[in-house]
Copies of this chain bind each other. A is one copy, B any other.
Amino acid sequence: MSEQLRVGMVGYAFMGAAHSQAWRTVNRFFDLPLSARMRVVCGRSPDGVAAAAGKLGWETHTTDWREVIDRDDVDLVDICTPGDTHAEIALAALAAGKHVMCEKPLANSVAEAREMAAAATAAQARGVRSMCGFNYRRVPAVALMQRLVAAGRIGAIRHVRAVYLQDWIVDPEFPLVWRLRKEVAGSGALGDIGAHIIDMTQFVTGQSIKSVTAMTETFVPTRPLPSASAGLSAASSSGASAARGDVTVDDAALFLARLDGGAIATYEATRFATGRKNGIRVELNGSLGSLVFDFERMNELSFYDATLPTADQGFSRILVTEPDHPYMAAWWPPGHLIGYEHSFTHEMRDLIEAIGVGKDPAPSFTDALQIQLVLDAVSRSAESTRWTDVESV
Protein backbone atom coordinates (compact mmCIF):
# COMPACT_ATOMS: atom_id res chain seq x y z
CA MET A 1 0.00 0.00 0.00
CA SER A 2 1.36 3.35 -0.99
CA GLU A 3 2.15 6.21 1.37
CA GLN A 4 -0.68 8.62 2.10
CA LEU A 5 -1.18 12.22 1.11
CA ARG A 6 -3.52 13.58 3.76
CA VAL A 7 -5.65 16.41 2.48
CA GLY A 8 -7.42 19.23 4.30
CA MET A 9 -9.85 21.19 2.16
CA VAL A 10 -11.12 24.71 2.88
CA GLY A 11 -14.47 25.52 1.25
CA TYR A 12 -17.05 22.96 0.22
CA ALA A 13 -19.33 24.61 -2.35
CA PHE A 14 -19.10 24.04 -6.12
CA MET A 15 -15.30 23.73 -6.25
CA GLY A 16 -15.22 21.81 -3.01
CA ALA A 17 -17.57 19.21 -4.40
CA ALA A 18 -15.53 18.90 -7.58
CA HIS A 19 -12.26 18.54 -5.68
CA SER A 20 -13.80 15.99 -3.32
CA GLN A 21 -14.87 13.83 -6.22
CA ALA A 22 -11.36 14.07 -7.61
CA TRP A 23 -9.61 13.16 -4.36
CA ARG A 24 -12.00 10.24 -3.89
CA THR A 25 -11.46 8.93 -7.41
CA VAL A 26 -7.88 9.64 -8.42
CA ASN A 27 -6.21 6.57 -6.89
CA ARG A 28 -8.94 4.28 -8.21
CA PHE A 29 -7.90 4.92 -11.81
CA PHE A 30 -4.29 6.08 -11.71
CA ASP A 31 -1.24 4.33 -10.30
CA LEU A 32 0.43 6.96 -8.15
CA PRO A 33 3.24 7.14 -5.58
CA LEU A 34 0.87 8.51 -2.92
CA SER A 35 -2.65 7.66 -1.90
CA ALA A 36 -4.97 10.58 -1.17
CA ARG A 37 -6.83 10.56 2.13
CA MET A 38 -9.69 12.99 2.69
CA ARG A 39 -8.80 13.98 6.25
CA VAL A 40 -10.66 17.19 7.07
CA VAL A 41 -12.95 19.74 5.47
CA CYS A 42 -13.39 23.30 6.69
CA GLY A 43 -16.21 25.83 6.31
CA ARG A 44 -17.67 28.81 8.18
CA SER A 45 -21.04 27.29 9.02
CA PRO A 46 -20.89 24.53 11.68
CA ASP A 47 -24.00 22.82 10.36
CA GLY A 48 -23.04 23.33 6.76
CA VAL A 49 -19.58 21.89 7.09
CA ALA A 50 -20.80 18.93 9.10
CA ALA A 51 -23.33 18.10 6.42
CA ALA A 52 -20.71 18.60 3.72
CA ALA A 53 -18.27 16.26 5.43
CA GLY A 54 -20.90 13.55 5.47
CA LYS A 55 -22.09 14.15 1.97
CA LEU A 56 -18.69 14.64 0.35
CA GLY A 57 -16.94 11.96 2.37
CA TRP A 58 -14.40 13.79 4.56
CA GLU A 59 -13.32 12.10 7.76
CA THR A 60 -13.59 15.17 9.99
CA HIS A 61 -14.61 18.82 9.77
CA THR A 62 -13.94 22.17 11.35
CA THR A 63 -14.94 25.84 11.07
CA ASP A 64 -11.39 27.11 11.60
CA TRP A 65 -9.10 27.01 8.61
CA ARG A 66 -6.08 27.63 10.86
CA GLU A 67 -6.81 24.34 12.54
CA VAL A 68 -6.52 22.61 9.18
CA ILE A 69 -3.07 24.07 8.76
CA ASP A 70 -2.00 23.32 12.29
CA ARG A 71 -2.91 19.66 12.15
CA ASP A 72 -0.05 17.21 11.95
CA ASP A 73 -2.15 14.78 9.98
CA VAL A 74 -2.63 17.13 7.04
CA ASP A 75 0.01 17.14 4.30
CA LEU A 76 -1.77 19.32 1.76
CA VAL A 77 -4.18 22.21 2.02
CA ASP A 78 -6.70 22.49 -0.80
CA ILE A 79 -8.16 26.01 -1.01
CA CYS A 80 -11.64 26.16 -2.57
CA THR A 81 -12.90 29.42 -1.09
CA PRO A 82 -13.69 32.69 -2.92
CA GLY A 83 -10.66 34.66 -4.07
CA ASP A 84 -10.58 37.19 -1.25
CA THR A 85 -9.34 34.56 1.22
CA HIS A 86 -6.82 32.72 -0.94
CA ALA A 87 -3.78 34.76 0.00
CA GLU A 88 -4.13 34.53 3.77
CA ILE A 89 -4.79 30.80 3.80
CA ALA A 90 -2.15 29.93 1.22
CA LEU A 91 0.56 32.00 2.88
CA ALA A 92 -0.17 30.43 6.25
CA ALA A 93 -0.18 26.94 4.78
CA LEU A 94 3.09 27.42 2.95
CA ALA A 95 4.66 28.87 6.08
CA ALA A 96 3.54 25.77 7.93
CA GLY A 97 5.23 23.56 5.36
CA LYS A 98 2.03 22.23 3.83
CA HIS A 99 1.70 21.60 0.12
CA VAL A 100 -0.94 23.90 -1.34
CA MET A 101 -3.52 23.42 -4.05
CA CYS A 102 -5.24 26.78 -4.63
CA GLU A 103 -8.24 27.30 -6.86
CA LYS A 104 -8.02 30.02 -9.47
CA PRO A 105 -7.82 32.93 -9.61
CA LEU A 106 -4.78 32.86 -7.38
CA ALA A 107 -5.82 36.09 -5.65
CA ASN A 108 -8.02 39.13 -6.08
CA SER A 109 -5.12 41.54 -6.53
CA VAL A 110 -1.73 41.59 -8.15
CA ALA A 111 -0.14 42.52 -4.83
CA GLU A 112 -1.52 39.45 -3.12
CA ALA A 113 -0.61 37.24 -6.04
CA ARG A 114 2.97 38.54 -6.00
CA GLU A 115 3.29 37.77 -2.33
CA MET A 116 1.89 34.27 -2.82
CA ALA A 117 4.18 33.54 -5.76
CA ALA A 118 7.19 34.67 -3.77
CA ALA A 119 6.18 32.53 -0.82
CA ALA A 120 5.61 29.53 -3.06
CA THR A 121 9.01 29.95 -4.69
CA ALA A 122 10.67 30.19 -1.32
CA ALA A 123 8.82 27.10 -0.14
CA GLN A 124 10.03 25.06 -3.10
CA ALA A 125 13.50 25.08 -1.58
CA ARG A 126 12.02 23.27 1.40
CA GLY A 127 10.29 20.69 -0.81
CA VAL A 128 6.89 22.27 -0.34
CA ARG A 129 4.84 22.10 -3.53
CA SER A 130 2.11 24.43 -4.74
CA MET A 131 -0.22 24.55 -7.68
CA CYS A 132 -3.03 26.74 -8.93
CA GLY A 133 -6.18 25.01 -10.13
CA PHE A 134 -6.68 25.76 -13.78
CA ASN A 135 -8.49 22.51 -14.34
CA TYR A 136 -9.34 22.93 -18.05
CA ARG A 137 -5.71 22.25 -18.94
CA ARG A 138 -6.42 18.72 -17.81
CA VAL A 139 -9.27 18.06 -20.17
CA PRO A 140 -7.66 15.41 -22.42
CA ALA A 141 -8.59 17.25 -25.62
CA VAL A 142 -6.89 20.41 -24.32
CA ALA A 143 -3.83 18.45 -23.28
CA LEU A 144 -3.78 16.88 -26.74
CA MET A 145 -4.03 20.32 -28.30
CA GLN A 146 -0.94 21.35 -26.36
CA ARG A 147 0.87 18.18 -27.41
CA LEU A 148 0.12 18.72 -31.09
CA VAL A 149 1.26 22.35 -30.95
CA ALA A 150 4.44 21.41 -29.09
CA ALA A 151 5.15 18.75 -31.70
CA GLY A 152 4.99 21.41 -34.40
CA ARG A 153 1.94 19.92 -36.04
CA ILE A 154 0.31 23.28 -36.80
CA GLY A 155 3.54 25.22 -37.36
CA ALA A 156 3.85 28.85 -36.36
CA ILE A 157 0.70 30.05 -34.63
CA ARG A 158 -0.89 33.07 -36.27
CA HIS A 159 -4.28 33.37 -34.60
CA VAL A 160 -5.80 32.56 -31.25
CA ARG A 161 -9.54 32.89 -30.74
CA ALA A 162 -10.91 32.19 -27.27
CA VAL A 163 -14.32 32.70 -25.76
CA TYR A 164 -15.82 31.62 -22.47
CA LEU A 165 -19.57 32.05 -22.69
CA GLN A 166 -22.08 31.64 -19.90
CA ASP A 167 -25.60 32.93 -19.42
CA TRP A 168 -26.52 32.46 -15.78
CA ILE A 169 -27.19 36.13 -15.04
CA VAL A 170 -29.04 37.14 -18.20
CA ASP A 171 -32.17 37.53 -16.10
CA PRO A 172 -31.96 41.03 -14.53
CA GLU A 173 -33.73 39.70 -11.46
CA PHE A 174 -31.04 37.13 -10.74
CA PRO A 175 -29.75 38.14 -7.27
CA LEU A 176 -26.55 39.90 -6.30
CA VAL A 177 -24.55 36.82 -5.28
CA TRP A 178 -20.94 37.03 -4.09
CA ARG A 179 -19.58 36.48 -7.56
CA LEU A 180 -21.07 39.85 -8.54
CA ARG A 181 -19.37 41.79 -5.76
CA LYS A 182 -15.87 43.10 -6.36
CA GLU A 183 -14.78 42.98 -2.72
CA VAL A 184 -15.25 39.20 -2.65
CA ALA A 185 -14.76 38.09 -6.23
CA GLY A 186 -12.16 40.61 -7.37
CA SER A 187 -13.74 40.88 -10.80
CA GLY A 188 -16.66 39.40 -12.69
CA ALA A 189 -16.53 37.38 -15.88
CA LEU A 190 -12.96 38.54 -16.38
CA GLY A 191 -11.36 36.84 -13.39
CA ASP A 192 -13.86 34.04 -12.99
CA ILE A 193 -13.90 32.65 -16.50
CA GLY A 194 -11.62 34.94 -18.53
CA ALA A 195 -8.74 33.67 -16.39
CA HIS A 196 -9.44 30.15 -17.64
CA ILE A 197 -9.13 30.99 -21.32
CA ILE A 198 -6.01 33.06 -20.65
CA ASP A 199 -4.47 30.02 -19.00
CA MET A 200 -5.70 27.59 -21.63
CA THR A 201 -4.45 29.61 -24.59
CA GLN A 202 -1.07 30.31 -23.03
CA PHE A 203 -0.78 26.65 -22.09
CA VAL A 204 -1.62 25.26 -25.49
CA THR A 205 0.36 27.80 -27.50
CA GLY A 206 3.38 28.01 -25.22
CA GLN A 207 3.20 31.78 -25.75
CA SER A 208 2.48 34.56 -23.24
CA ILE A 209 0.26 37.58 -23.69
CA LYS A 210 2.37 40.71 -23.77
CA SER A 211 -0.12 43.51 -24.50
CA VAL A 212 -3.86 44.03 -24.72
CA THR A 213 -6.63 46.40 -25.65
CA ALA A 214 -9.83 45.77 -23.78
CA MET A 215 -13.34 46.68 -22.81
CA THR A 216 -15.60 45.59 -20.02
CA GLU A 217 -19.33 46.00 -19.63
CA THR A 218 -21.93 45.67 -16.91
CA PHE A 219 -25.25 45.27 -18.69
CA VAL A 220 -27.36 45.06 -15.54
CA PRO A 221 -26.08 47.62 -13.01
CA THR A 222 -28.26 46.74 -10.01
CA ARG A 223 -29.73 43.47 -8.82
CA PRO A 224 -31.92 42.22 -5.96
CA LEU A 225 -30.01 41.51 -2.79
CA PRO A 226 -30.00 37.81 -2.00
CA SER A 227 -31.85 36.89 1.17
CA ALA A 228 -28.81 34.94 2.28
CA SER A 229 -25.35 34.28 0.92
CA ALA A 230 -25.54 31.55 -1.65
CA GLY A 231 -23.16 29.71 -3.91
CA LEU A 232 -23.47 29.49 -7.64
CA SER A 233 -25.70 26.46 -7.70
CA ALA A 234 -27.90 27.51 -4.82
CA ALA A 235 -28.51 31.02 -6.13
CA SER A 236 -31.79 31.53 -7.92
CA SER A 237 -34.34 34.22 -8.58
CA SER A 238 -36.54 32.80 -5.90
CA GLY A 239 -33.95 33.75 -3.30
CA ALA A 240 -34.22 37.44 -4.22
CA SER A 241 -35.47 40.11 -1.87
CA ALA A 242 -37.01 43.50 -2.70
CA ALA A 243 -33.92 45.61 -2.01
CA ARG A 244 -31.36 46.05 -4.78
CA GLY A 245 -27.64 46.58 -4.69
CA ASP A 246 -24.98 47.64 -7.20
CA VAL A 247 -23.23 45.07 -9.34
CA THR A 248 -19.58 46.05 -8.87
CA VAL A 249 -17.96 43.68 -11.33
CA ASP A 250 -18.00 43.25 -15.11
CA ASP A 251 -20.70 41.15 -16.78
CA ALA A 252 -18.46 40.77 -19.82
CA ALA A 253 -14.86 41.45 -20.77
CA LEU A 254 -13.48 41.54 -24.31
CA PHE A 255 -9.89 42.05 -25.37
CA LEU A 256 -7.43 41.77 -28.21
CA ALA A 257 -3.91 40.66 -27.48
CA ARG A 258 -0.45 40.18 -28.87
CA LEU A 259 1.44 37.09 -27.72
CA ASP A 260 5.19 36.90 -27.36
CA GLY A 261 5.55 34.23 -30.04
CA GLY A 262 3.95 36.34 -32.75
CA ALA A 263 0.34 35.24 -32.49
CA ILE A 264 -2.52 37.70 -32.29
CA ALA A 265 -5.66 36.94 -30.35
CA THR A 266 -9.23 37.78 -29.48
CA TYR A 267 -10.69 36.96 -26.07
CA GLU A 268 -14.20 37.20 -24.74
CA ALA A 269 -15.58 36.24 -21.34
CA THR A 270 -19.22 36.86 -20.62
CA ARG A 271 -22.13 35.81 -18.47
CA PHE A 272 -24.64 37.17 -20.99
CA ALA A 273 -24.33 34.70 -23.88
CA THR A 274 -27.87 33.35 -23.82
CA GLY A 275 -27.93 29.61 -24.47
CA ARG A 276 -24.26 29.05 -23.71
CA LYS A 277 -24.01 27.44 -20.30
CA ASN A 278 -20.31 26.78 -20.11
CA GLY A 279 -19.22 27.48 -23.65
CA ILE A 280 -15.45 27.50 -23.85
CA ARG A 281 -14.09 27.59 -27.37
CA VAL A 282 -10.43 27.85 -28.25
CA GLU A 283 -9.25 28.03 -31.84
CA LEU A 284 -5.69 28.15 -33.10
CA ASN A 285 -4.62 28.82 -36.67
CA GLY A 286 -1.04 27.97 -37.53
CA SER A 287 1.05 27.98 -40.67
CA LEU A 288 0.62 24.20 -41.05
CA GLY A 289 -2.75 23.55 -39.53
CA SER A 290 -5.44 24.50 -37.08
CA LEU A 291 -6.97 23.21 -33.87
CA VAL A 292 -10.39 23.81 -32.34
CA PHE A 293 -11.67 22.87 -28.91
CA ASP A 294 -15.24 23.35 -27.71
CA PHE A 295 -16.06 22.40 -24.14
CA GLU A 296 -19.66 21.56 -25.06
CA ARG A 297 -18.06 18.62 -26.85
CA MET A 298 -15.16 18.23 -24.47
CA ASN A 299 -14.25 14.71 -25.61
CA GLU A 300 -13.48 15.97 -29.12
CA LEU A 301 -10.65 17.91 -30.71
CA SER A 302 -10.79 19.26 -34.25
CA PHE A 303 -7.51 19.16 -36.10
CA TYR A 304 -6.86 20.49 -39.59
CA ASP A 305 -3.65 19.15 -41.04
CA ALA A 306 -2.62 21.32 -43.98
CA THR A 307 0.27 19.00 -44.79
CA LEU A 308 -2.10 16.33 -46.15
CA PRO A 309 -2.93 16.31 -49.88
CA THR A 310 -5.32 19.19 -50.62
CA ALA A 311 -8.25 16.99 -51.63
CA ASP A 312 -8.04 15.13 -48.29
CA GLN A 313 -7.83 18.15 -46.03
CA GLY A 314 -10.58 18.82 -43.56
CA PHE A 315 -11.21 19.44 -39.90
CA SER A 316 -10.82 16.03 -38.33
CA ARG A 317 -13.02 15.37 -35.32
CA ILE A 318 -10.74 13.37 -33.05
CA LEU A 319 -12.63 11.54 -30.33
CA VAL A 320 -10.11 11.95 -27.54
CA THR A 321 -10.78 8.63 -25.86
CA GLU A 322 -7.89 6.50 -27.07
CA PRO A 323 -5.28 5.02 -24.72
CA ASP A 324 -2.61 7.08 -26.46
CA HIS A 325 -4.43 10.32 -25.70
CA PRO A 326 -3.48 12.22 -22.54
CA TYR A 327 -4.89 10.71 -19.32
CA MET A 328 -7.24 8.36 -21.18
CA ALA A 329 -5.45 5.03 -20.71
CA ALA A 330 -6.75 5.11 -17.14
CA TRP A 331 -10.40 5.22 -18.05
CA TRP A 332 -12.82 3.29 -20.25
CA PRO A 333 -12.46 1.68 -23.69
CA PRO A 334 -12.34 4.08 -26.66
CA GLY A 335 -15.57 5.91 -27.33
CA HIS A 336 -16.71 5.91 -23.71
CA LEU A 337 -16.81 9.58 -22.75
CA ILE A 338 -15.63 11.32 -19.64
CA GLY A 339 -17.06 14.48 -18.07
CA TYR A 340 -16.26 17.79 -16.43
CA GLU A 341 -15.24 16.35 -13.09
CA HIS A 342 -12.52 14.25 -14.68
CA SER A 343 -10.49 17.41 -15.30
CA PHE A 344 -10.13 17.73 -11.53
CA THR A 345 -9.21 14.07 -11.15
CA HIS A 346 -6.44 14.65 -13.70
CA GLU A 347 -5.38 17.77 -11.84
CA MET A 348 -5.01 15.82 -8.62
CA ARG A 349 -3.26 13.04 -10.51
CA ASP A 350 -0.60 15.46 -11.74
CA LEU A 351 -0.32 17.11 -8.33
CA ILE A 352 0.09 13.81 -6.47
CA GLU A 353 2.59 12.59 -9.04
CA ALA A 354 4.65 15.76 -8.68
CA ILE A 355 4.64 15.63 -4.88
CA GLY A 356 5.45 11.94 -4.94
CA VAL A 357 8.45 12.27 -7.22
CA GLY A 358 9.59 15.58 -5.74
CA LYS A 359 8.93 17.92 -8.62
CA ASP A 360 7.04 21.19 -8.85
CA PRO A 361 3.64 20.86 -10.47
CA ALA A 362 2.29 23.30 -13.04
CA PRO A 363 0.73 25.79 -13.17
CA SER A 364 2.80 27.22 -10.35
CA PHE A 365 1.80 30.23 -8.29
CA THR A 366 4.16 32.23 -10.49
CA ASP A 367 2.30 31.04 -13.57
CA ALA A 368 -0.91 32.10 -11.85
CA LEU A 369 0.59 35.49 -10.98
CA GLN A 370 1.30 36.04 -14.66
CA ILE A 371 -2.36 35.39 -15.44
CA GLN A 372 -3.26 37.87 -12.72
CA LEU A 373 -1.02 40.40 -14.46
CA VAL A 374 -2.85 39.82 -17.72
CA LEU A 375 -6.18 40.36 -15.96
CA ASP A 376 -4.74 43.54 -14.49
CA ALA A 377 -3.59 44.79 -17.89
CA VAL A 378 -7.06 44.10 -19.26
CA SER A 379 -8.65 46.12 -16.47
CA ARG A 380 -6.23 48.98 -16.94
CA SER A 381 -6.72 49.00 -20.69
CA ALA A 382 -10.49 49.05 -20.30
CA GLU A 383 -10.15 52.13 -18.13
CA SER A 384 -7.52 53.96 -20.15
CA THR A 385 -8.96 53.02 -23.57
CA ARG A 386 -5.38 52.35 -24.70
CA TRP A 387 -3.26 49.36 -25.62
CA THR A 388 -1.57 48.29 -22.40
CA ASP A 389 1.46 46.12 -21.71
CA VAL A 390 1.30 43.19 -19.34
CA GLU A 391 3.72 43.71 -16.43
CA SER A 392 6.56 41.27 -15.89
CA VAL A 393 6.21 38.62 -13.22
Interface string of A269-284 (1 = CB under 8 A from B): 0101111111100000
Chain A 285-297: CB-based contact to B (< 8 A → 1; otherwise 0): 1111110000111
A-B pairs with the 10 shortest C-beta distances?
Answer: A277-B335, A278-B335, A275-B304, A339-B339, A314-B318, A314-B316, A277-B334, A336-B340, A385-B387, A316-B316
- Contact between chains at B387 and A313 (CB < 8 Å): no
A31 to chain B minimum Cβ distance, whole angstroms, is 9
Does A386 have its Cβ within 8 Å of any Cβ on chain B?
Answer: yes
Closest-CB distance, A160 to chain B (whole angstroms): 10
Q: With a CB–CB cut-off of 8 A, which chain B residues contact A321?
A: 277
Partner of A304, one of B28, B254, B264, B274: B274
Q: Please provide the chain A residues from 1 to 45 with a CB less than 8 Å away from any CB of chain B in the complex.
A: 1, 14, 18, 20-21, 24-25, 28
Q: Which residue of B lies closest to A236 (CB)?
A: B323
For A289, the closest partner residue in chain B by CB is B274
| Nearest Cβ on chain B to A34's Cβ, whole angstroms | 15
**A266 at interface (Cβ–Cβ under 8 A)?**
yes
A325 in the interface (beta carbon within 8 A): yes
Asked if A289 and B312 sit within 8 Å, CB to CB, the answer is no
- Asked whether, in the complex, the Cβ of A290 is within 8 Å of the Cβ of B273, the reply is yes
- Is A55 at the interface (CB under 8 A from chain B)? yes
Kindly list chain B residues whose C-beta atoms are within 8 Å of the C-beta of A341: 332, 338
- Beyond A168-B333, A252-B159, A317-B315, is A28–B18 a contact (Cβ under 8 Å)? no
Chain B interface: which of A69-77, A115-123, A212-220?
A212-220
B386 and A272 contacting across the interface, CB-CB below 8 Å? no
Known: A272-B158, A385-B386. A332 touches B254 (CB 8 A): no
Contact status A311-B317, CB under 8 Å: no
In contact, B322 and A311 (Cβ under 8 angstroms): yes
Shortest beta-carbon distance from A151 to chain B in Å: 10
A393 at the A/B interface (Cβ < 8 Å)? no
A268 on the B face (CB < 8 A): yes
Q: Are B264 and A252 in contact (CB under 8 A)?
A: yes
| Contact assessment for A161 and B159 in the assembled complex, using a CB-CB cutoff below 8 Å | no
Asked if A285 and B272 sit within 8 Å, CB to CB, the answer is yes
Query: Shortest distance in angstroms between A178's beta carbon and chain B's nearest beta carbon?
Result: 15
